[in-house]
Structure 1
Amino acid sequence: METKPTEISSSKMFGGYNKRYKHFSPTLGCSMTFHIYFPPSASPSSQKFPVLYWLSGLTCTDENFIAKSGAQRAASSEGVALIVPDTSPRGLNVEGEADSWDFGVGAGFYLNATQEKWKNWRMYDYIAKELPELLKENFPQLDTTRASISGHSMGGHGALTIYLKNLDKYKSVSAFAPIVNPTNCPWGQKAFSNYLGGTKADWEEYDATCLVSKFHDISATILIDQGEDDKFLEDQLLPKKFGEACEKVNAPLLLRFQPGYDHSYFFIATFIDDHISHHAQALKL
């Protein structure tokens, strides 16, 4: 079982390269794929690239963001590498893993499951521990000590919670239409009860609205874009709850409601340059 990443595809874009890799993940117990967008390098001896992790939403793989966001244009000009992992373990054939689109395969919720049946669902450890180590060991052109994190929907939830639990590891965070209060919405309650069991205190460890009140040393502004015409806004995403929690502890938050935009990659593609620039600024400080 090859834990070292093997390149499986490469496409030039904006002077850099989208490269897809496959490797065996000891954390998840299965083979995983991920993409890296390498910006163009001025010379082999030039400075290493800082990294921006992108966490995708429900039903996505590592391909959606690479194909649909157009983030590579800004990443190329800013000199930031994009790291785009998959959203859950795959190929384990756990009973019921593909019964619904919002749980199981394609729906890892970036947590470490504690229930025996879902013991391989350890996306938190995969993103926060295994992947950075893998990149550090295998890609000398990346500077993994300068890292930021972003994501969409379930991935926005992942980006915010991983950031808040690891303030020393990431320079900045942003999210598009994140599930910020999963303990209080149907998607989160379904996932958390199955992955984590019935103890609500365990759920709160993966809820950005609960977590933000525990930390008082958040210095970088949290950037969130939310479409006003997003059909999930009122019952699943609950950005105002997160806004209130940030206000209580004076956490710096820029929460932008964008009129007319929905939950799709058309919305992400519209504002992604702002997010890349937000992270590039923090990564180059």
Structure 2
Amino acid sequence: MEKVADVQCFGGQQQRFKHVSLVLNCDMHFSLFLPPQAKNAKVPVLVWLSGLTCTDENFVTKAGAQRVAAELGIALLAPDTSPRGEGVADDEAYDAGMGAGFYVNATQAPWAEHYQMYDYIVQELPALLAREVQALDLKRMSIMGHSMGGHGALVIGLRNVDTYQSISAFAPICAPSQCPWGEKTLGYYLGQDRSTWQDYDASVLLASAKKSIPIRVDQGLADNFLTTQLMPEKLIAAAPQNYPLQVLQHKGYDHSYFFIASFIEAHIRFHAEFLNQ
């Protein structure tokens, strides 16, 4: 694990690392913010999954999350959104291929050789951090994300309720098996048998949930993708009775990082309730 950047921020350290991923079969980067409390004790980890076209750097430079994370003593982990590099399969459009890993384990050629993002996020990256960064308490971990990353956070959190304490999402793709982004990309990565898509559809997973995990979703009502791609109403309808899901709607907000920056503090404080217990 090679440290390629390290700058002080709100008394903590904003770092960037490069490493060889055996799961993805390529070199990967991720960003990590260590709050000042990490100098003296282990701190909980809040994972951020970014959306289409993003890298590990979008969130740490645009969201303004470090201030409240430093106050609350929470580390922020921001992985990349897909495998990258020479020989990694790609697509000419922005919504598949590099920058669009969709946080699934691909089964179809040519994607399966590299696109194993689910295993990378759930298994390989936490194991790497457990070995290399002693300041992290990986038994206290929550997950959040935006758009495609919101989809990833919901799916990964719902499938691993004993690993994560809480989930949150900004403008997530709530029913990828029923929207153009998901139909295209899941078809690419998993094939045309739609039954294989169900494990990566948050609405399907929530409807069959056997154990609860607190979830917060924020959605801007001026989001251009609201009705065609995101469909939060599918998630609301799928939730079992009394499930701890809150979906907050915000008039005038769009799909951008201006929306994320406006409510990121509320999300981190939401997670802190469960991470700091």
User: So what's the TM-score if we normalise by structure 2?
Assistant: 0.97
Q: Note if 1:100 corresponds to 2:96.
A: no
**Any conservation in 2 of the 1:39–1:80 contact (CA below 8 Å)?**
yes
**Measured at CA, do residues 223 and 141 of structure 1 come closer, stay the same or move farther in structure 2, by a change above 3 Å?**
same
C-alpha distance in 2 between matches for 1:59 and 1:204: 24
C-alpha distance in 1 between matches for 2:232 and 2:145: 15
Q: Note if 1:245 corresponds to 2:238.
A: yes
**Measured at CA, do residues 274 and 199 of structure 1 come closer, stay the same or move farther in structure 2, by a change above 3 Å?**
same
What are structure 2's unaligned runs of at least 5 residues? none
Q: Note if 1:129 corresponds to 2:123.
A: yes
CA RMSD of aligned residues (A): 1.1
Q: Note if 1:37 corresponds to 2:30.
A: no
SS in structure 2 of the partner of residue 205 of structure 1? helix
What are structure 1's unaligned runs of at least 5 residues? none
Alignment of 1:27-106 (within 5 A): 27-41=23-37, 44=39, 46-94=40-88, 97-106=90-99
Partner residue in 2 for 1:26: 22
Partner residue in 1 for 2:222: 229
SS in structure 1 of the partner of residue 118 of structure 2? helix
Q: Which of 13, 18, 32 is residue 17 of structure 1 equivalent to?
A: 13
C-alpha distance in 1 between matches for 2:153 and 2:133: 22
C-alpha distance in 2 between matches for 1:141 and 1:185: 40
C-alpha distance in 1 between matches for 2:207 and 2:246: 17
**Any conservation in 1 of the 2:28–2:80 contact (CA below 8 Å)?**
yes
C-alpha distance in 1 between matches for 2:31 and 2:91: 23
C-alpha distance in 1 between matches for 2:214 and 2:157: 12
C-alpha distance in 1 between matches for 2:137 and 2:178: 37
Displacement after TM superposition at 1:257 (Å): 0.4
Q: Note if 1:269 corresponds to 2:261.
A: yes
Over residues 106-154 of structure 1, what are the superposed CA-to-partner deviations in whole Å (9 max), with x where a residue is unaligned? 0000000000210110000000000110010000010011000000000
C-alpha distance in 2 between matches for 1:105 and 1:79: 33
Partner residue in 2 for 1:259: 251
**Any conservation in 2 of the 1:161–1:211 contact (CA below 8 Å)?**
yes
Displacement after TM superposition at 1:214 (Å): 1.5
| Aligned pairs, number | 276
**Any conservation in 2 of the 1:182–1:189 contact (CA below 8 Å)?**
yes
Q: Note if 1:172 corresponds to 2:166.
A: yes
Q: Which of 184, 195, 200 is residue 201 of structure 1 equivalent to?
A: 195
Partner residue in 1 for 2:271: 279
Over residues 208-240 of structure 1, what are the superposed CA-to-partner deviations in whole Å (9 max), with x where a residue is unaligned? 00011121320x421000000000000000001
Displacement after TM superposition at 1:249 (Å): 4.3
C-alpha distance in 1 between matches for 2:109 and 2:262: 41
C-alpha distance in 2 between matches for 1:172 and 1:41: 21
**Any conservation in 1 of the 2:165–2:214 contact (CA below 8 Å)?**
no
